[in-house]
Structure 1
């Protein structure tokens, strides 16, 4: 790759550099003062897109403290997300309920980051990354139906009014996903692609632009419904991490819930269960179901762009995300579904 592109990627990686654990702990201690401080040192959960801590406030509440990544969402957008989640929780949707700071606001701040607290939800993610689905087809189908029903409840609550009047969240529309400068990066420039793969992604991008115009259900979505963002706790499934949320096609949430299992042998059972659970509570006509492979591919495209700024040129993750994007792009161009291939 030419030196210009190597320097370009190096700059992108520098911009994505994470903070040290020591600095994260210091920032967390400062931020917790906005909620009256903690009764014990907070526990670092992860340093990722945001920095997350588990903490016990002095008033007894068990919370997750989030130090928001700078520059991704505005203060107004962060506070709209928190107000939205509070309304969803009031409507009975299992999401983390935001905790107001002692001054009555939703957020605090430390250095260049905004901070927020939500009630801690007990539970474990139903999956992570590209790990195989667990259980036989019946078990996979049942759990997927439960998730589909939860997503339908979430979308329904939004349509019923559990959204702030002022909702300044960035949309996941055709421009954000398929424009000249997609929000998560020009996926067709992923360094693991050869010329054939790049051309295929560009052709699928053009086809997807035509197909998404057929989708009818557009409104607030989670936008990152990977298995790692779905917890199974004592009371069932719950949705966490609304950092990427905003207006978008509801099919994008369903496609995202499927994308990690794109070549899993259990994918047909996953799709069957997810659609059964969703459509039991919310209409999903056949012509809209037929668009699901396109939206599954859209998430794969977005991730192939996202990974570029988070790892080195020769990191195998670039190749893994590029391979998935190319495979799902072929389905878009051929008008087929990956679960039909899985069943064959």
Structure 2
């Protein structure tokens, strides 16, 4: 059995065992629907008609305490009707984070959520309205987070330039395919400029706080007029406007980004005012996100199909963006 098939088989056994701890009928079925950093399964109970999303968390990323904190924030957002998000589901003993043994690998944390209807906006559609909706959602979440009294036990990671460029949160960008001496030189200069500009921008309470940190169109579900936000796995502390940078992940160099940004800002400022300094920091946050993803490709390109597909072109494309960024031409 290949390595990937062995992992899939062992996780299937783990999912089957953990589902027995929830209020499902004996005929409950599950199937894998997404593999990224986490493995996500759709769970269907034919006896009740109930569906759920089960997430098997990546190993060695979030602690149990950090995952509990994610669920607490989702509870708070739902309770205040800020956004429609999937409700966490507790096991029979009331716990909402399970830990299961996995054959030939580390134990995994598992969480379960209600399955929400809807689909992400089509990439073939006019995305301007969708980016406007994302901006509005981001502003409302940020405003809520600023005023929310977090419990003392609340723990989430901080996404900043030190995490990305120094601690290599998702991998070292220097290890990405396509990085040679010339590429490393231009990207190193861009990293220095990112650090300089973010230090100047600062971390005031009106600029830095609790964010979704992966508020992409793929995590927006649309069903008629109903909007839902999913996948809070990367939520944590960052600059608020980083939520736009994440919205254009893997698309940072597309010519439509400027239009999408204006639509996002239009939606955002309907709920929350921004300053000229806030708007001016957006190219820096997008450049930081690109560096994070270059590192992700470098770390995953040998074993993740998406990273392999991006390949060396993603790093060399980052160099072109970096040249425009350093020359003051990026998104201007």
TM bracket, shorter-chain basis: 0.7 to 0.9
Which residue pairs with 1:333 in the alignment?
Answer: 326
TM-score of the superposed pair, with normalisation by structure 2: 0.87
1:293 and 2:283 aligned: yes
Of residues 118-127 and 287-296 in structure 1, the stretch that sits farther from structure 2 once superposed is 118-127
Taking the TM superposition and a 5 Å limit, the aligned residue runs for 1:197-208 are 197-208=183-194
Taking the TM superposition and a 5 Å limit, the aligned residue runs for 1:167-182 are 167-179=154-166, 181-182=167-168
Which residue pairs with 2:135 in the alignment?
Answer: 148
Q: What is the rounded CA distance, in whole Å, between the counterparts of 2:190 and 2:255 in structure 1?
A: 24
TM-score of the superposed pair, with normalisation by structure 1: 0.84
Taking the TM superposition and a 5 Å limit, the aligned residue runs for 1:71-90 are 71-90=60-79
Which residue pairs with 1:320 in the alignment?
Answer: 313
Which residue pairs with 1:227 in the alignment?
Answer: 217
Q: Deviation string for 1:258-296 (max 9, x for gaps)?
A: 243333343232111111001111121111101101101
Q: What is the rounded CA distance, in whole Å, between the counterparts of 1:268 and 1:275 in structure 2?
A: 11
Which residue pairs with 1:310 in the alignment?
Answer: 300
Q: What is the rounded CA distance, in whole Å, between the counterparts of 2:155 and 2:255 in structure 1?
A: 40
Q: CA deviation at 1:94?
A: 1.7
Q: Deviation string for 1:85-118 (max 9, x for gaps)?
A: 1111112112211111111111122101111111
Alpha-carbon distance change, 148 to 18 in structure 1, aligned in 2, over 3 angstroms: farther
Which residue pairs with 2:33 in the alignment?
Answer: 45
Which residue pairs with 1:283 in the alignment?
Answer: 273
Q: Deviation string for 1:110-151 (max 9, x for gaps)?
A: 101111111111122225xxxxx534xxx4322211111011
Q: Deviation string for 1:63-97 (max 9, x for gaps)?
A: 11111111111111111111111111112112211
Unpaired runs of 5+ residues, structure 2, are 102-106
Q: What is the rounded CA distance, in whole Å, between the counterparts of 2:49 and 2:294 in structure 1?
A: 42
SS of equivalent to 2:91? coil
SS of equivalent to 1:197? helix
Taking the TM superposition and a 5 Å limit, the aligned residue runs for 1:229-268 are 229-268=219-258
1:189 and 2:178 aligned: no
Q: Calculate the aligned-residue CA RMSD, in Å.
A: 2.3
Alpha-carbon distance change, 315 to 59 in structure 1, aligned in 2, over 3 angstroms: closer
Say which of 59, 82, 97 aligns to 1:70: 59
Which residue pairs with 1:8 in the alignment?
Answer: none
8 Å contact from structure 2 (residues 172, 298) kept in 1: no
Q: What is the rounded CA distance, in whole Å, between the counterparts of 2:141 and 2:8 in structure 1?
A: 34
8 Å contact from structure 1 (residues 62, 119) kept in 2: yes
Q: CA deviation at 1:248?
A: 0.9
8 Å contact from structure 1 (residues 173, 248) kept in 2: yes
Q: CA deviation at 1:205?
A: 0.5
Q: CA deviation at 1:18?
A: 8.1
SS of equivalent to 1:98? coil
8 Å contact from structure 2 (residues 68, 97) kept in 1: yes
Count, aligned residues? 315
Q: CA deviation at 1:235?
A: 4.2
Q: What is the rounded CA distance, in whole Å, between the counterparts of 1:315 and 1:239 in structure 2?
A: 28
Q: CA deviation at 1:237?
A: 2.9
Taking the TM superposition and a 5 Å limit, the aligned residue runs for 1:117-156 are 117-126=112-121, 133-135=123-125, 139-156=126-143
SS of equivalent to 2:273? coil
Which residue pairs with 2:42 in the alignment?
Answer: 54
Unpaired runs of 5+ residues, structure 1, are 1-13, 128-132
